[in-house]
Copies of this chain bind each other. A is one copy, B any other.
Amino acid sequence: MNVQRFSISDAKLAKSPGQNAEIYVRNLVDENHGGSITIGYGRYEPGQSLAETLAVDDTMIILEGSLSVSTSDGTVTAGPGDIVYMPKGQSVTITTQGDGALTAYVTYPHWPQFHND
């Protein structure tokens, strides 16, 4: 794969299989592209809550809006330009208020949950 530029307008966001919240994602780079990481965009509508245990190391970069990530240690809230690093094995609850959030994500290794085929 060569150098690639992606924009949110290129990404056809959709719910992940089995995921019922109003959270829409799209992988742009994944296991089909020869590397070790998954890259994509996610849009979280307002008032959503998603609980999961991380199967991979997941880095979210907040592009618009804000979201909160809660663990047994407490809650962090992140806004535009902030980075949230969620290591593999952590149990998190991601919540949105207000305007929801637009994120970019990078996971290592690939996250099978985010198949969009």
Chain A positions near chain B (C-beta within 8 angstroms): 1-8, 28-29, 34-37, 39, 41, 57, 59, 61, 63-64, 69, 71, 73, 76-78, 80-88, 90, 92, 102, 104, 106, 108
Contacts and interface: CB of A to CB of B under 8 A. Distances in A.
Contacts of A69: 3, 5
A8 B81 CA distance: 7
Contacts of A35: 57, 87-88, 108
Closest 5 CB pairs of A and B: A5-B76, A106-B106, A6-B83, A4-B85, A61-B61
Given A3-B73, A7-B81, 18 more contacts: A2-B87, A3-B69, A3-B84, A3-B86, A5-B76, A6-B84, A7-B83, A28-B85, A29-B85, A35-B57, A36-B108, A37-B59, A37-B108, A39-B83, A39-B85, A63-B63, A63-B81, A83-B104
Interface of A is mostly: strand
